[in-house]
Amino acid sequence: MSKAISGKFSGTKGEGAALASQLDANGVKYNKKDVVAITKDPDGNIVWLEKGHLGNKPSGWLILLRNM
């Protein structure tokens, strides 16, 4: 069973900037300007949510909004 993520979420400014820098340093591909939230999970892994788009189909945050 996975552990729930708790704590603060932020964008790539302020507290989230340090996490985004870690992603950059590790060569992770992501679109910094589309990051809606970034934090660490209970195991210390960085997790983030992007606005998302796959061509004309929504993904990421957009798919969550669409299905609410």
**DSSP letters spanning 22-34:** HHHHTT----GGG
- How far is Cα 42 from Cα 5, in angstroms, rounded to an integer? 6
Task: Determine the pLDDT at residue 1.
Answer: 43
Token digits of residue 2: 């996975």
pLDDT of amino acid 28: 94
pTM of this prediction?
0.67
pLDDT of 14-35, one tens digit each?
778 899 999 999 999 988 888 8
Helix (H) or strand (E) holding 5: none
pLDDT recorded at residue 24:
95
Across residues 37-58, what is the average pLDDT? 81
Mean pLDDT for the stretch of residues 51-67 = 66
Query: Residue 61 and residue 53: Cα distance in Å, rounded?
Result: 9
Report domain extents, the chain.
15-66
